[in-house]
A and B are shown apart, each in its own frame.
Chain A
Amino acid sequence: MNVVYILWLRQLKRSARSRARIIGSFAQPLLFLLAFGFGFGAMFQRAGQGNYIQFLAPGVITMSILFTSIFAGIEVIWDRQFGFLKETLVAPVPRILIMVGRTLGGATVAVLQGIVMFCICLAVGFRTSSLPLLPLALTFLILTAVLFTAVGTALASVLPDFQGFQLVMNFLVMPIFFLSGALFPLTNIPRAMRIIASLDPLSYSVDGLRSALIGETHFGVPLDLAVLCLVTAAAVVLGGYLFSRIQV
C-alpha cells in the first residue's frame, strides 16, 4: 500500500513542479474551446442544434483528460531514458504495484486538470443543467483518466524511445479524439463513421460526461458506464502485464 502511495505522490509532485507542462496542457483544449466554440457557434445554432459552447464543453474537458493521461503514461519512456525506471524495477516489490501507483498518480493529475478545465468552461459561459449529477460527471472523468494513463503505460512499455511517440500521437491519440463525438453530434453522421465512433472508447467518455452535465446522450449512461468500466479494466491488466515485462 505504501508503495502505491509513494508512486502516486511522486507523480503528483513531478506534475506540480513542472509549471510549463501544466500551462501547456491547457493551451490546446482552450484553443479548441474558444476557436471552435465561438467560430462554429452561430452555424451550430442555425442548424437547430442549440448552443455550441454547451455541446462542446464536455468534449473539451474530456480532451484535456485524454492528453494529460496519455502523457502521464508515456512518461515511463522518459524514466527509462533517464534511468529512474531501473530504480523502481530492481526494488523488492511486485511490478504491478508500481504500475498501479504510477497510473493512479497520472490519473489524479489528469482529473484535477479536467476539473480546472471545467471551471474555465464555466467562466466562458458554459452552464451545467444538473448539480446533483456532478458526482456522475466526476466518475466519468476518473474512468477516462485511469483508462488512458494505463494505455499510455502499455505503449511506453513496448516503445524503446521517443521516436515512436509521434506515431502514437498521429495514429492513435488524434483519431481517438476527433472520432469520439467530442466536437460534433454522432446522430446524422455517415454510417461508417458512426460505427468507428462506437468503437472509440472516448466516445463513451464524452457521451457520459455530456449526459451528466447537460442531459444530452447518444448511447445512454448505463452503456457508457459499462463500456468504460470494461475497457478500463482491460487496459489496466494489459498495461500491468506489459510493464512487468520490461527489461532494461
Chain B
Amino acid sequence: MIRAQGLVKKFGEFTAVDNIAFDVAKGEIFAFLGPNGAGKTTTIKMLTTLLRPTSGRVSLDGLDPVTHQTAARKQFGIVFQDPSVDDELTAYENMDFHGVLYSVPKKLRQVRIESLLKLFELWDRRSDQVKHFSGGMRRRLEIARSFLHTPKIIFLDEPTIGLDPQTRNQLWTHIKKLNDEEHVTVFLTTHYMEEAERVAHRIAIIDHGKIIAQGTPDELKAQTGTDTLEQAFLALTGSTIRQEEASGLDKMRTFDKAFRRVKG
C-alpha cells in the first residue's frame, strides 16, 4: 500500500532523510519511530505531497505523489503533528469543510460526520467553536476528520502528544477499531513506545535520516536481546539527547498564550 525506495531529502547541505526504503502492506499498522529530528516528519511530508523528495520514489496504492498529486491525495487522510483545525469554525463545520474538499457526497457526508463525531464523543459539542475545545478534544476531532472520506491510508504524526493517558488509550482503541472495520492502512509516529508496542504490527526505527532496524515488536526485542520496545529503542538509537530548535510555530504559540492571558 505504501512503498518507499531510495528516498532522500536534502535541505541545502543537511540530509534529513538518507536513502530509506520500506513497504507497508494493506491493512497494516506501521509505526515509524525515532528520536527528535530523525526525519520522521520529513518522511511523512514526502509521502503526503507536502515536500518533493530530492531523489528516490514513493508510491501510495501504486500512485506516485509527485506525478499524480491529486489522485494520490485522495488515497490518504492525515493527522499532522501540529494542530490543523480552524478555531473559528465549529466541530461540525470543520468536518463538513473537509468533506466538501474531498468531494464526499452530501448525504454520505452527513451520515459519516454523525457516526465519526459520535465515535469520538464529540457529537454533543458539534455546534461549539473549536477554540473552546481542550487539546484532547481537538485531537479527537482531527482524527475523526482524517477518516471522513474513507481513505485507504491514514498518516498519524505523533497524534497523542500532550494528551493524558485516558485520552491516549481511548484514541488508540478507536484507531484499532477503524483499522479492523474499514481495513485502513495506518502509518504512525509516536514517542510513546508502549503505544507502538500495543498497536503496531510492524515497526521501523529511523535515526539520523537512516532506517536502522525494521520488524515486528517481538523481532526488534529479540534482535537487541531486550524485554520491552523502549529498551530495544534505546539500545538501537543510544541515549544521547537530541537538540531541536524551537520552530516559528512554537514561538508564536507562546506569544499567543501570553497575549490571551493579558486579555484575560
Contact = CB atoms under 8 A, between A and B. Distances in A.
A13 interface: yes
B262 interface: no
Contact of A2 (B50, B85, B88, B103): B103
B129 A84 contact: no
Given A13-B93, A87-B84, A91-B101, A81 B252 contact: yes
B71 A92 contact: yes
A88 B50 CA distance: 11
Contacts of A192: none
B12 interface: no
B238 to A, nearest CB: 31
B192 interface: no
B50 A3 contact: no
Given A6-B101, A161-B248, A90 B93 contact: no
B36 interface: no
A17 B88 contact: yes
Interface in B129-149: 129
Given A3-B101, A6-B101, A13-B93, A92 B83 contact: no
Interface of A: 2-3, 5-6, 10, 13-14, 17-18, 81-84, 86-94, 160-162, 247-248
30 contacts: A3-B100, A3-B101, A10-B89, A10-B97, A13-B88, A14-B88, A14-B89, A81-B252, A83-B83, A83-B85, A84-B84, A86-B50, A86-B80, A86-B82, A86-B84, A87-B85, A87-B86, A87-B98, A89-B50, A91-B73, A91-B98, A91-B102, A92-B70, A92-B73, A92-B102, A94-B70, A161-B248, A161-B252, A247-B50, A248-B50
Given A83-B249, A90-B49, 4 more contacts: A5-B100, A88-B101, A92-B73, A93-B70
Interface of B: 45, 48-51, 70-71, 73-74, 78, 80, 82-89, 93, 96-98, 100-103, 129, 248-249, 252
